[in-house]
A and B are shown apart, each in its own frame.
Chain A
Amino acid sequence: MSTVAIPAAAAPLRALASTDHKRVALGAGAVAFAFFIAGGVLALLMRTQLAADGGVVSQANYNQLFTMHGSTMVYLFVVPVALAVGLYFVPLQVGAAEIAGPRVALAGLWLLVLGGLSMWSGFLTSGGAAAASWWGFDPLSDSLHSPGSGMELWIFGVMLATAGQILWAGCIILTALRRRAPGMTLMRMPVFSWTMVATCLLVLFSFPALILALALLWTQRHFGGVLTGGLGAVDYQQLFWFYGHPAVYVMFFPFVGMVGEVLATFSSKRFFGYRAFIFALLAFAGLSMTVWAHHMFTMGQVTNKYFALTSTILIVPAGIEYFDLVATVWRGRLRFTTAFLFALAFVVQFLIGGLTGVILASPPLDYGLNMSYFVVAHFHYTIFAGSAFGLFAGIYYWFPKLTGAMLRERLGKLQFALMIIGTNLTFFPMFVLGANGMTRRIATYPKSTGWQGLNVLETAGSFVIALSVLVFLANVVVSLRSRIPAGEDPWEAQTLEWATSSPPPRYNFDALPPVRSYAPLLDLREQLASDTAVGSPLNSFNKGTP
Chain B
Amino acid sequence: MGVEVRDTLASMPDTLHAYDHVRGIYFPIAIGVFALVVGTLLVLVVLGARRRRADAARSEAPRVELAYAIVLGLVVAFLLVVTFRAESPIDRAVADPRLRIEVTAAQWSWRFSYPNGATVDAVSTWHPPRAYVPTGVEVEFFGSSRDVIHGFWVPQLHFQRQFLPGFTTRFDLRFDKPGRYGGECSVFCGEQHSEMHFAIEAVSPERFERWLDAHAPKVSMQGAKTSARKASVTR
Closest to B151 in A: A371
Chain B residues 55-100 with CB under 8 Å of chain A are 55-56, 59-62, 65, 68-69, 72-73, 75-76, 79-80, 82-84, 86-87, 90-91
Contact of B72 among A316, A324, A333, A441 (CB under 8 A): A316
Q: Does B1 contact A (CB under 8 A)?
A: yes
Residues B60 and A275 in contact, CB atoms below 8 Å apart:
yes
A449: nearest chain-B partner, CB-CB: B182
Q: Is the CB of A436 within 8 A of B155?
A: yes
The answer, yes or no, to whether A140 is at the interface (CB within 8 Å) is yes
Q: Say yes or no: B45 contacts A344, CB within 8 Å.
A: yes
Query: How many chain B residues touch A (Cβ–Cβ < 8 Å)?
Result: 79
Task: Judge whether A501 is part of the interface by a CB distance below 8 angstroms.
Answer: no
Distance (Å) between the CB of B144 and the closest chain A CB?
A: 7
A residues 290-321 touching B (CB-CB < 8 Å): 298-301, 304-305, 308-309, 312-313, 315-316, 319-320
Q: Who on chain B is nearest to A436 by CB?
A: B155
When the two chains form their complex, are residues B83 and A363 in contact, meaning their CB atoms are under 8 A apart? yes
Whether, in the assembled complex, B191 has its beta carbon less than 8 Å from a beta carbon of chain A, the answer is: yes
Stretch at the interface among A3-11, A214-222, A264-272, A419-427: A264-272
Q: Contacts A269-B59, A316-B76, A363-B83 hold; do A140 and B164 have CB atoms under 8 A apart?
A: no
Docked Cα-Cα span, A330 to B75, in Å, equals: 25
Complex: chain B residue closest to A340, CB-CB: B45
Chain B residues within an 8 Å CB radius of A60? 191
In contact, A133 and B188 (Cβ under 8 angstroms): yes
Contact A352 B22 (CB under 8 A): no
A352 pairs with B162, CB closer than 8 A: no
Could you tell me if A267 and B22 are in contact, using CB atoms closer than 8 angstroms?
no
A334 within 8 A of B: yes
Smallest beta-carbon distance B20→chain A, Å: 9
Q: What separation, in Å, do the CA atoms of A234 and B187 have in the docked complex? A: 14
Q: CA–CA, A314 to B10, complex, Å? A: 33
CA distance A444 to B195 in the complex (A): 10
Collect the chain B residues with CB atoms within 8 Å of residue A309's CB.
80
Given the complex, which residues of B lie within 8 Å of A274, measured CB to CB?
A: 59-60
Is B184 within 8 A of A329, CB to CB?
Answer: no
Given contacts A329-B44, A367-B160, contact A231 B167 (CB under 8 A): yes
Docked CA distance A219–B61 (Å): 54
For the complex formed, measure the closest distance between the CB of B211 and the CB atoms of chain A, giving whole angstroms. 25
Name the A residues within 8 Å of B149 (CB-CB): 137, 139-140, 233
| Alpha-carbon gap, A272 to B27, bound state (A) | 30
Query: A133-165 CB contact bits vs B (8 Å, 1 = yes)?
Result: 100010110001100000000000000000000
B72 and A319: CB pair below 8 A?
A: yes
CB-based contact B26/A358 at 8 Å = yes
Contact A331 B184 (CB under 8 A): no
Verify if A276 is at the interface (C-beta below 8 Å from B): yes
Cβ proximity bits B135-158 to A, threshold 8 Å, 1 near / 0 not: 000000000100111010101101
Instruction: A18 to B53: give the CA distance in the assembly, Å.
Output: 44
Cβ contacts under 8 Å, B166 to chain A = 229-230
Say whether, besides A334-B45, A368-B160, A305 and B54 are in contact (CB < 8 Å): no
Q: Does B104 contact A (CB under 8 A)?
A: no
A residues in contact with B55, CB < 8 Å: 331-333
| Measured CA separation A15–B31 after assembly (Å) | 50
**Is B52's CB within 8 Å of the partner chain A?**
yes
B33 on the A face (CB < 8 A): yes
CA distance A440 to B82 in the complex (A): 28
CB-defined contacts of B171 to chain A, threshold 8 Å: 300
Q: Which residues of B contact A439 (CB under 8 A)?
A: 153, 184-186, 194
User: Which residues of chain A are within 8 angstroms of B144 by Cβ–Cβ distance?
Assistant: 230
Q: Does A56 contact B (CB under 8 A)?
A: no
Interface pair B59/A230, CB less than 8 Å apart: no
B19: contacting residue among A316, A356, A365, CB under 8 A: A365
Q: Of B40, B73, B147, B158, which contacts A316 at CB under 8 A?
A: B73
Complexed CA–CA distance, A139 and B147 (Å): 7
**Nearest chain B CB to A184's CB is how many angstroms away?**
18
Smallest CB gap from A363: residue in B = B87
**CB of B30 within 8 A of chain A?**
yes
Which one of A233, A270, A274, A372 has the highest number of Cβ atoms from chain B below 10 Å of its Cβ? Answer: A233
Within 8 A of B (CB), among A34-83: 59-60, 63
**CB of A60, distance to nearest CB on chain B (Å):** 5
Within 8 A of A (CB), among B175-190: 182, 184-190
**A437 within 8 Å of B by Cβ?**
yes
Asked whether, in the complex, the Cβ of A371 is within 8 Å of the Cβ of B153, the reply is: yes
Q: How far is the CA of A229 from the CA of B164 in the complex (A)?
A: 10
Q: Is A533 an interface residue, CB under 8 A from the partner?
A: no
Interface check A336, CB cutoff 8 A: yes
Contact partner of A234 (CB less than 8 A), chosen from B37, B147, B164, is B164
Tell me if A322 is interfacial: C-beta within 8 Å of chain B: yes
Shortest Cβ distance from residue A98 to the other chain B in the assembled complex, whole angstroms: 32
CB distance from A367 to the nearest CB of B (A): 5
Within 334-383 of A, Cβ neighbours of B (below 8 Å) are at 334, 336, 344, 347-348, 351-352, 355-356, 358-359, 362-365, 367-372
Chain B CB within 8 A of A326 CB: yes
Q: Please indicate the chain A residues that have their CB under 8 angstroms from the CB of B188 in the complex.
A: 63, 132-133, 137, 140, 371, 440-441
Q: How far is the CA of A315 from the CA of B69 in the complex (A)?
A: 9
The answer to whether residues A308 and B87 also contact, given A140-B148, A299-B164, A362-B26 and a CB cut-off of 8 A, is yes
A308-B80 contact given A333-B53, A362-B22, CB 8 Å threshold: yes
Q: Are the C-beta atoms of B153 and A364 separated by less than 8 Å? A: no
The answer, among B23, B44, B155, for a CB contact under 8 Å with A365, is: B23
B56 touches A230 (CB 8 A): no
**Closest beta carbon of chain A to B168's beta carbon, Å:** 8
Point out the residues of chain B lying under 8 angstroms from A445, CB to CB. 194
Option from B41, B65, B147, B186 in Cβ contact (under 8 Å) with A371: B186
Query: CB-CB < 8 A to A189: which residues of B?
Result: none
Report chain B residues within 8 Å CB of A139. Answer: 147-149, 165
Can you list 25 A-B contacts with CB-CB less than 8 angstroms, sorted by A residue number?
Answer: A132-B188, A230-B144, A270-B59, A272-B61, A273-B60, A276-B65, A299-B162, A300-B162, A309-B80, A315-B76, A316-B69, A320-B69, A320-B72, A329-B41, A332-B48, A333-B55, A334-B48, A344-B45, A351-B34, A355-B34, A358-B30, A362-B26, A368-B160, A437-B156, A442-B193
Known: A359-B23, A359-B27, A365-B19. 19 other contacts (CB 8 A): A60-B191, A268-B53, A269-B59, A270-B59, A272-B56, A319-B72, A333-B55, A348-B38, A362-B22, A364-B22, A365-B22, A368-B158, A371-B153, A371-B186, A372-B155, A372-B186, A439-B186, A442-B193, A443-B194
9 smallest beta-carbon distances between A and B, as pairs = A230-B167, A368-B158, A437-B155, A230-B166, A334-B48, A371-B186, A442-B194, A269-B54, A331-B56
